[in-house]
């Protein structure tokens, strides 16, 4: 049997290519803008949920964290406006 390493902590970053106007944030229901670094990431519950966020040309990255039990998976989707250029990255707790 092959052992499989499982990440327990995952951080999601949303990076925008360009949007024309700033948008006030209530990222993932936080009441403000999501963190701009891994150390200031907004913590999300690891349950079946949908979270919404905003990015603008003045706020190019939002960080979120999810703490998960061993032997679990994650599905992440990203919906963006037509013509926009978003990137989505998943990192483990060491930033890799």
Write out pLDDT tens, residues 33-64.
777 788 888 888 877 777 777 766 666 788 88
- Supply the pLDDT for residue 65: 86
70 pLDDT more than 60: yes
**Structure tokens of 20?**
């024309």
Which pLDDT score is estimated for 75?
80
Strand order in the sheet with 9-16: 42-44, 61-67, 9-16, 86-91
């Amino acid at each position: 049997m092959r052992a499989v390493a499982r990440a327990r902590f995952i951080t999601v970053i949303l990076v925008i290519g360009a949007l024309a106007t700033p948008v006030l944030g209530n990222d993932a229901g936080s009441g403000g803008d999501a963190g701009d670094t891994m150390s200031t990431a907004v913590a999300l519950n690891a349950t079946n949920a949908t979270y919404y966020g905003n990015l603008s040309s003045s706020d190019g990255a939002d960080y979120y964290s999810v703490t998960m039990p061993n032997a679990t998976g994650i599905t992440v989707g990203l919906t963006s406006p037509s013509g926009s250029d978003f990137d989505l990255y998943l990192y483990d707790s060491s930033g890799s």
